[in-house]
Structures are given as C-alpha cells and as structure tokens.
Amino acid sequence: MLAAIGIGVVLAGPPVAALNIWLSGLVERQAREELTLSGRRHMVLSEARIARAIQTLDDLAARGIDSCRVSNVDALRQATFATTPVKELSIVAADGRTLCTDVGNQLEQRKVVSSEPLAAGSRALLEVIRLGSQPEQWLRIRRPGAGSGNGVAALIPSALFVPQVSTAGGPLSFHARMFTAGGTLIAERGDAAQGAGRGDHGDLVIADLESSRYALKAAISASHFELAANQADFRALGTVASGLLAILILVTSVLLPRRAPNNPIAEIERALKAGEFVPYFQPIVDIRSGRLRGAEVLIRWRKSDGTIVAPASFIPLAESSGLIIEMTRTLMRRVCLEAGAVLGSRPHLKVGFNLTARHFANEEIVDDVRSIFKKSALRLSQIVLEVTERQPIENLTETRRVVAALQGLGVKVAIDDVGTGHSGLSYMLKLGVDIIKIDKMFIDSLGTDRNSNTIIETLIDLAQNMRMDVIAEGVESFEQVLHLRDLGIRAAQGFVFSPPLPCSAFLQLVETIDPHKSGGDLSAEGPAAAIAAIARSDAA
C-alpha cells in the first residue's frame, strides 16, 4: 500500500507541477492585461477630460473673455456648469497669476508646482498647482492670451486622473500614479505597498503608459506576492493531488471547476435568473407641505444567505457588460408586482428608475416601459426615468429622440446628479428633460460654501425658466432643509427623511403617512410629518 502511494506521488508530481506553473503564468498574464487595460482606460478618460477643458477655453477665448468684467465672470460661471469635470474657470495674467475666477476675485495664493507645454507645438500649458496651504494638488490647463494679454485657465481635480476602482468595479487592488511628461506627480491612488511587493523592483508587475495626445504618462503596479495570493487554493490543490494520482483526477475533474475564480459576469447572470436583485425605495418629500411625493428605486443584491450587496460592487460591471438592460427590466417588473397596487392607488406618487447612457442607444427602453407598465396598476404618468451620468451620452440627437418618445408615453425624464457627471448643463439644455436632481456634493456645502449657494440658485433659475422641477439629493440635516426651502426648492430626498427602504418597509411608510382613504394624514408619525412640523414652526 505504501509503495502504491509512493508510485502515485511520483507519477502525479510532474503533471501537478506543470499545472501549477501554467496557472501561475496565466494569473500573471491576466494581471498584466488588467493593469494595462486599467491604465489605457483611464488614460483615455483623462485625455477626454482635458479635451473638453481645452474646447471650453478655446470657445471663451474666441468670445473675447479676457478680463474680470461682470459679464465675463458670468460667462465663466456658465461655462463651468456646462463643462465637466472642470471645477473652476479663471482669467490668468501672462505671468500665470490668477486675476479672477468664475465666482469673482480670487485672493487665494496659488503655487505653481510645474508648468510645461500641454502637447508638442501647443501654446497651452499643463500645470500642477496647489491652492493656499492645502496639500492636495490640482491640474490647471492654461491657454495664454495673444501677446502679453490675459488668458483663460481651467482647474480640474487631480484625483480624476487616476482610477478610483478596479476594472471590475471593486476596490482598487493596485497602485496607480499619473505624471506630467516632465515627471511631476499629478495624483496617485491605492496603497503604495500594493505596488512595492516584498522585495526589490523585480517583484513588481508594472504597466507604463504615455498619452499620444498630451503631456501625460501613467504608471500602474502591483506586486507578484499580491497577485499570487489569489492562487493559494490552487497550490493547496496541487499539494493534495500529488499524494495520489486518483485524487488528482478526482480533484481536477470535479473540484477544480468549482474552485476556479468566479466569473463576476456569470455570477450576475445567475443572480438575475435567481431573482436576487431587489428594489429599495428612497422616499422623496415635499419640504414645504411635508407630503410624500414618491421615491427613487434603488437596486440591491440580496444573496440567498441574506447578505445585501451594495450597488457600487456590481453596477459598473453590469453597465460595461450590457447586463444593466435586463437588470432594469427585472427591477421594473418587481416594483410592479410588489408595490404596483399600493402606489397605483395613489397617482400623485412618482416612482423613479435609474437609466444609463446605454439605455438611450435605441428605442428598446421605450418598448420595455410600454410593455412592462401596460398591465400594471402603476400609471405611466407616475414613472420617472433618471438619466445617470456615469457613462457619457455619445449621441445626443438619438438620446433626445428616445427621451421625446418616453415623454410621449406620459413618462417624466430626469437628469440625476447634476453638477458631477459628464455634461449636466448640456444635457439640461439639449435633452428637454422634465426634472433635474441636484447632487449631494452641493447640498453638503450649503451654508458654508457660497459657491454651492450660487450654483444651486443658478440651477433653480435655469430650471424654472425651462419649466423643470428640481429635487435635492443627499439631504442629511434639518438645517439643509431650511436652506433649500429658502432657495426655492420644494422636493428633496436623503437620510434626514429616510434611508433606502426594502419594499415592505416602504409600503408600510406609505400606508402610515399617506393613508389611502384619507388622502394623506400629515399628523402621522414619519419622516414627512417631521418636515411638516418644520414647515409649521418656520411659518410661525
């Protein structure tokens, strides 16, 4: 028996060793490809952001915007709203001094860390700067004026020039850095230890890239040790398999497929078929009357063991793979089934669903909405479709046609996260939407940052002129509620009212604060009643 085991070990050893070598090589190749893909993808995004900034600067220069006159500052402000991801536009002297910005005179000291041509043969400059005593760096694109005249410049957060998540949408598992062509660090992301390994430079898997358009270069690295850690199961399998050739065959034919790394797309497909994606509802409240106006439907992945997975872990992958289309259909059908009767009996309540740019590539979404809600208790007039800006809309003409077709059904269309996406103001002007939703970033700064007040006031004025409704997102305090009311906003959502609720809890909330028979009892306990109390006390 012992001799047989020894022979089995000898016979199984070479194939198991070969398998481990092959697996290690495969993992390293895949890791290099992932690093290179991440670098290329973000380099393209970085080039696109710079190109949008340059286009805006060229347009301003062509209009003669070169001084701090009130009309010029207004033009800068409008251009900032229309150009994502530019956070500030300014008039700059020939020596690089900032004369004024889109919010007026700018007294904050700006230290230029480096300045070099944006591209070969270009007069525009790519500059890394610091604002005052802040440690964070910003990227400034400066377009000098003619001769010794003033120029214009765009300020972009440096964090936008490095990846924030991995290609699969999860936490960053590598060390990413972006430099100017001259070697000045613009930004970095990820733990440097992830790119340092446990030894010298030879322990790294590195992807170096250079922009073909601008003076940018990127370096993305991860250690062999971190990458090899994913293969611990395979190594243990090889050790066991080398004991007995029979066990090697059994493990290879039965267990190995089960132990192979999960394909996240296949896992999402399986979860869709199993009905594991469920709706959560975040209430939207009228902050003047305290009444419930409806809810935004958010998706959660509820696994068979009861674990709840947040959208950030799977939505980016669903979007890139195209599964977001079927995921949206599933969510709409489930809302109709689970909440259609309660919400349909209250036609004043709206139900919002998030869509991406992919939904507007053709009229498939129009057919989906028509067929899904045709036999539902929910009316089409209760449906709001929110255009998210995680992906840029490439064909505005086609998108405008799809938006018009949806509105023809009676559906309302909103732009989500206005102010932080690819081109929120441009979408407002060109898509003919019904509602804009102001991003939490501006709400957080209310009362402390005059820029946020100015931006919100401008958005409200523009929305009113274009007959659009306005909803504030991410409201977390009653002080913010009062500020929003003073600014003229009626509708809001956020944790000050309620977190996203599972369907059963949301329907209970609806029955409590909006009883069907009474048409809405504002004395009921609930988030809307709290806002009504604020409204009454403020009026007193």
467-496 confidence digits (pLDDT tens)? 889 999 999 988 889 989 988 899 999 998
Q: Is residue 409 part of a domain?
A: yes
CA atoms within 13 A on the CB side of 36: 7
Which residue, 417, 326, 398, 321, is CA-closest to 360?
A: 398
Predicted confidence at residue 540, as pLDDT, reads: 44
Segment among 332-341, 365-374, 411-420 with least mean pLDDT: 411-420
Q: Please tell me the least confidently modeled range out of 228-242, 318-332, 339-353.
A: 228-242
DSSP 317-335: HHHHHTTHHHHHHHHHHHH
Query: Six-digit token pair at 83?
Result: 């150009």
Alpha-carbon gap, residue 224 to 238, rounded angstroms: 20
Let me know whether 442 and 392 are in one domain: yes
Confidence of residue 368 (pLDDT cuts 50, 70, 90): very high
Nearest C-alpha neighbor of 91 from the set 145, 158, 156, 157: 145
Mean pLDDT of the chain: 80
Residue 438 is assigned to a structural domain of this protein: yes
Q: Which 3 state secondary structure label does DSSP give 210?
A: strand
| Pairing outcome for strands 469-472 and 435-438 | parallel
Residue 458 lies in a domain: yes
Rg (CA), the chain: 28
Distance CA 539, CA 85 (A): 40
Provide the pLDDT confidence category of residue 205 given band limits of 50, 70 and 90: confident
87-97 b/e (C-beta count within 10 Å ≥ 16 → b): bbbbbbeeebe
What gap in Å lies between CA 114 and CA 250, rounded to an integer?
A: 61
Position 266 in a domain: no
The residue from 261, 287, 314 where one domain ends is 261
- pTM for the whole structure: 0.52
- Whose structure tokens read 């469920």? 278
> Which residue reads 């509105």 in tokens?
407
Q: With bands split at pLDDT 50, 70 and 90, how would you rate the model's confidence at 524? A: very low
* Residue that the structure tokens 């003033």 belong to: 150
| β-strand pairing of 216-223 with 175-180 | antiparallel
Q: Within this chain, do residues 303 and 245 fall inside the same structural domain, yes or no?
A: no
Residue 176 pLDDT level (bands cut at 50, 70, 90)? confident
Q: Are residues 239 and 304 in the same domain?
A: no
What digits encode the pLDDT tens for the residues 412-440? Answer: 999 887 765 545 566 777 788 899 898 88
User: Looking at the structure, do residues 293 and 234 belong to the same domain, yes or no?
Assistant: no
Interhelix angle for 396-408 vs 364-374, to 10°? 20
Q: If you average pLDDT over each of 260-264, 314-318, 333-337, which comes out highest?
A: 333-337
Residues 383 and 488 both lie in one domain: yes
338 belongs to a structural domain:
yes
Domain with residue 442: its CATH number is 3.20.20.450
Residues 131 and 201 in one domain: yes
CA angle 342, 344, 348 (to 5 degrees): 105
Place of tokens 């007026």: 104
- Do 415 and 478 lie in one domain? The reply is yes
Q: Hey, which residues does 185 pair with through a beta bridge? A: 179
To which H or E segment does residue 468 belong? Answer: none
Residue 269 included in any domain: no
Q: Is the backbone peptide bond immediately before 502 cis, with ω within 30 degrees of 0?
A: no
**Residue 454's pLDDT band (cuts 50, 70, 90):** confident
Residues 46 and 134 in one domain: yes
Q: What is the mean pLDDT of residues 400-413?
A: 93
Q: Could you give the 3-state DSSP secondary structure of residue 82? A: helix
Distance separating alpha carbons of residues 9 and 536, to the nearest angstrom: 82
Range list of β-strands (E), 316-411? 350-355, 383-387
Q: Which of 202, 231, 261 is the last residue of a domain?
A: 261
CA-CA distance, 220 to 191, in Å (whole number)?
Answer: 12
Q: Which of 235, 261, 287 is the last residue of a domain?
A: 261
Distance CA 25, CA 320 (A): 27
Domain that holds residue 456: 275-539
User: What per-residue confidence (pLDDT) applies to 67?
Assistant: 92
Please check the confidence at residue 363 and state whether its pLDDT lies above 80: yes
Mean pLDDT, rounded, for 102-108 = 70
**Same domain membership, residue 529 and residue 445:** yes
CA 162, CA 45: separation in Å to the nearest integer? Answer: 10
> Does residue 240 share a domain with residue 102?
yes
Q: In whole angstroms, what is the distance from residue 195 CA to residue 106 CA?
A: 39
Number of independent structural domains in the chain: 2
Residues 16 and 78 in one domain: yes
DSSP state of 359: G
350 and 210 in a single domain? The answer is: no
Asked if residue 151 belongs to a domain, the reply is yes
Evaluate whether residue 267 is within a structural domain. no
DSSP class of 432 = -
Band of the pLDDT at 258, cuts 50, 70, 90? Answer: very low
